[in-house]
Amino acid sequence: MQINPIEPSRSASLHYAFNRTPLHYAAEQGKLAICKQLISNGTNVNALDYCNVTPLHYAAYRGKLAVCNQLISNGANINNLDNLERTPLHYAAEQGKSAVCKQLISNGAKVNALDYCNVTPLHYAAYRGKLSVCEQLISNGANINNLDNLERTPLHYAAEQGKSAVCKQLISNGAKVNAVDYCNVTPLHFAAYRGKLSVCEQLISKGANVNNLDNLERTPLHYAAYQGKSAVSKQLISNGAKVNALDYCNVTPLHYAAYRGKLAVCNQLISNGANVNPLDNINKTPLNYAARIGSVDVCKLLISNGAKINTFDKFDLTRLHYAADQGKLSVCEQLISNGANVNTYENGTPLHYAAYRGKLAVCKQLISNGANVNNLDNLERTPLHYAAEQGKSAVCKQLISNGAKVNAIDYCNVTPLHYAAYRGPLAVCKQLISNGANVNNLDNLERTPLHYAAEQGKSAVCKQLISNGAKVNALDYCNVTPLHYAAYRGELAVCKQLISNGANVNNLDNLERTPLHYAAEQGKSAVCKQLISNGAKVNALDYCNVTPLHYAAYRGKLAVCNQLISNGANVNTLDNINRTPLNYAARTGSVDVCKLLISNGAKINAFDEFDWPRLHFSADQGKLAICEQLISNGANVNSLDYLGRTPLHYAAKQGNLAVCRQLFKWCQRSFSNGVNVNALDYCNVTPLHYAAYRGKLAVCNQLISNGANVNTLDNINKTPLKYAARIGSVDVCKLLISNGAKINAFDEFDWTRSHYAADQEKLAVCEQLISNGANVNSLDYLGRTPLHYVAKQGDLAVCNFHRTPLHYASEQGKLAVCKELISNDANVNTLDNANETPLHYAARIGSVDVCKILISNGANINAFNYYNRTPLMLATSEKHVAVTEYFVENNAVLLKEFYDFGSQPLFGHKTEKRYASFNANLVSKTADIRSGTN
């Protein structure tokens, strides 16, 4: 709220940096004669500094009345806005310059001007407690209840700052004492929070509601209690404030006071009837809060007034748990002396919490008061597990000396030593081992503490464990040794330690992988070197015949690949699907690894189990650099995979233009026979078919410019144009047509391109084909034209070209299409091969709107199909009530032979009330006519 215009610098060199004129400085300092001289010499009285502050702002801020008069009389804009949209009146009001305010107002200053936060001069004056300015502004029409952008009134400002006289002035002039801001906070909330007693008294005496709720349902008493404002709390309570009021979390004023350790307020609340055991939304009482922060005096007060000690909150914790967790020794003593259960647990005992936090004094206290050192929490962990995990050596010593089991296992069979080994506190490990901890205990995954320490690279712990008998070749449930873990993590020091103590560098896990496989996959070069120098097999095969080199190549680990090859790794080893390391590197796009493998003799054109050479992988994945590398080293650009596809098929299919170009360019440079641009796969599909189907315009253009045949037929006589038409790729269609693609050719199903485009509702493609001579009346093997498919799909935009079969549109309930067809002279009574009219179709699906448009245009309501069924019969058979009612209202004929009302009602069982009246109505309309009569 405070205005802080930039003060003039003492350094002349900085004056110009702020864009201030000499008049700004003279006005600020009240130098009237200089101001007159400057103005008479043409200085702009409305000049703006870099904050858009004028000389009048400065004079108003400093209260220089004579200068203000001079500036105003020479044309200074009284309502100029600075960069925060404040006027000179804002400045004068905030500083309490009454005479200047009077002068500004008398010259037209807006008393209700709003700055960028919607704050008025009255807000500023109220905040600062400038009574005379407030009186002046109010007497000149200032809105007493104006709201800023936080919806606060001047009274909120004055109340927060404890400006009693201003509050009185505002209230007497109509300020709303219960006005709420955007958080529903009233002036009384602000005054209570700040402890402004006189303001609180004034507000209450003028009708302020002491139990008003903010948006979190807190009353002024909650605010006062939280801040420990004893006098205000007393005032509020004496005026009816509810001492047990609940906020949105069911927190009472006593909870707040207890949480802040406000003893006097707690005493006051309790003496006025506050419940000492209310539960908030997580079942915490005020004693929980006081215990957590360690407020002994508040705890004593609450206990002496009946606070419950051993109840659980939502997390199954008591007050003692909180005090122990925070290491509040005095509170723990207080609670225990008043009967707190030291062994109570649902989610761990207080000793678990104290041990985890390393609170030695509290641990001693709990143990001396009977805490069981071997109690299990819900994860079956003892306090020693927690102390060991956190490396709390002194607490571990205390627990062990009091009988804690050093080999206790949790629900995963993990011992304290496992935790300590994982975290690496050496002192705790030594302590546990010296007290009988089993160094080879197995967890539920059969891992020993050495597995844990090796994985985390805890070299000193590993040394300690091994020297005390830990098995260096211990196997977990996957036959993984500590060396596997260390190799995977790249923990060189641990690897050296394990190997020097007899770890087998060629141990196999359950997938037959050695530590070298692990290190190679992760690119741990130093570890690989260490393993190899100690006899690790560089060509070891896992269960899929994958070598360390395969793993390193797949991950693109160049340094490891180089290391393995220099130590004899076979670059052409085949895995169980005949892939070499080069396959792996090509697939992931590692150019440097590919170069390394090729330079060391890797075969370029070898096939895997699926007859995929390396180049196919790279073309499919769009790995341009790999393709260049492979081609330059002799890869066959026309090799076929098991589907008869070349690399160009895959590049075209994926739209990899750069790869396609590379394939063509290389062949041109090398004067080879070239890429077969019209290569056929096992379905006689060419690269151009694939590119057209995917709508890859640039690739299509590239292929055609290199001789691709635009009219090649696949095994069901489809050309690339059919593929493009099916997906609606207009640009590809244009390209193909402009290069001679046949428009009206038929495929195996006698479908032309127009059939495909119409069936898929491709309007733009239809336009393109028709404009290029497509036969719109060509018939497929079912005798349907493209327009039959348009009608069936209900595409009105495409139908507008010609009339369409009305029965298709009716069958789909396409009202707009039906209207279009009828407006183009479609016959509403056309019979299909089952003698059904469009009305039969519409009746069968229950489309009332389509039925109406057909009948209104002359459809025969009593037409019989091949099975002597009228539209009404079909509608009733499908239980379309609305359509049936419409037909009956339009005098459709009913047949006794069809409707046996004596045995079966039209809709549902005749006892069903919802159909009774309708069935009766139909009976009354039944006509006795013969089948075949119209």
pLDDT at 742: 75
Model confidence at 276: pLDDT above 80: yes
- Burial class of residue 934 in the structure, from the number of CB atoms within 10 Å of its CB (0-12 exposed, 13-18 middle, 19+ buried): exposed
Model confidence at 674: pLDDT above 70: no
pTM over 0.85: no
Is residue 821 a contact partner of residue 804, using CB atoms and an 8 Å limit? yes
Least confident of 370-374, 795-799, 868-872: 795-799
pLDDT at 648: 64
Phi, psi of 895 (to 5 degrees): -110, 130
The letter for the amino acid at 920 is A
Is residue 125 a contact partner of residue 96, using CB atoms and an 8 Å limit? yes
Q: Which two tokens stand for residue 925?
A: 């309309």
Q: d(Cα 273, Cα 252) in Å, to the nearest integer?
A: 12
Q: d(Cα 160, Cα 166) in Å, to the nearest integer?
A: 12
Residues belonging to the chain: 934
Q: What is the arithmetic mean of pLDDT over 252-263?
A: 96
pLDDT in tens, 393-449: 999 999 999 999 999 999 999 999 999 999 988 999 999 999 999 999 999 999 999
Does 632 fall in a domain?
no
Does 405 fall in a domain?
no
Does 153 fall in a domain?
yes
Q: What is the arithmetic mean of pLDDT over 62-68?
A: 96
The letter for the amino acid at 269 is L
pLDDT at 715: 79
Does 399 fall in a domain?
no
Give residue 201's Cα distance to chain centre.
50
Model confidence at 800: pLDDT above 60: no
Q: Which residue has the higher pLDDT, 715 or 656?
A: 715
Is residue 135 a contact partner of residue 129, using CB atoms and an 8 Å limit? no
Closest CA to 836 of 882, 868, 804, 858: 868
Does 226 fall in a domain?
no
Q: Which two tokens stand for residue 420?
A: 């300590």
pLDDT in tens, 312-328: 988 889 999 999 999 99
Does 252 fall in a domain?
no
Q: d(Cα 565, Cα 542) in Å, to the nearest integer?
A: 18
Q: Total domain count for the chain?
A: 2
279 conformational bin, left if phi > 0, alpha if psi -120 to 50, beta if neither: beta
Residue 500 maps to which CATH number? 1.25.40.20
Give the Cβ contact number of residue 900 at 10 Å.
9
pLDDT at 206: 96
Out of 157, 176, 195, pick the residue that ends a domain.
176
Q: d(Cα 108, Cα 766) in Å, to the nearest integer?
A: 72
Cα 347 to Cα 280, 311, 694, 912: the distances in Å are 20, 13, 59, 60
* Confidence bin at 731 (pLDDT 50/70/90): confident
Opening angle at CA 931, ends 926 and 932, nearest 5: 120
Give residue 190's Cα distance to chain centre.
37
Q: Which two tokens stand for residue 367?
A: 């143990």
The letter for the amino acid at 562 is N
Is residue 603 a contact partner of residue 632, using CB atoms and an 8 Å limit? no
The letter for the amino acid at 417 is L
515: Cβ contacts below 8 Å, ≥ 6 apart? 481, 483, 484, 486, 487, 495, 505, 507, 527, 531, 536
* Confidence bin at 902 (pLDDT 50/70/90): very low
pLDDT at 808: 66
Cα 570 to Cα 505, 541, 596: the distances in Å are 19, 11, 13
Mean pLDDT of the chain: 83
Does 149 fall in a domain?
yes
Model confidence at 837: pLDDT above 80: yes
Q: d(Cα 486, Cα 475) in Å, to the nearest integer?
A: 14
> Angle 426-434/393-401 helices, nearest 10 degrees?
10
Out of 176, 210, 235, pick the residue that ends a domain.
176
Q: Which two tokens stand for residue 572?
A: 């052409």
Out of 176, 198, 226, pick the residue that ends a domain.
176
Q: Domain range holding 135?
A: 1-176
Does 864 fall in a domain?
no
Greatest CA separation for the chain:
119
SS (H, E, C) 863-912: CCCCCCCCHHHHHHHCCCHHHHHHHHHCCCCCECCCCCCCCCCCCCCCCC
* Confidence bin at 114 (pLDDT 50/70/90): very high
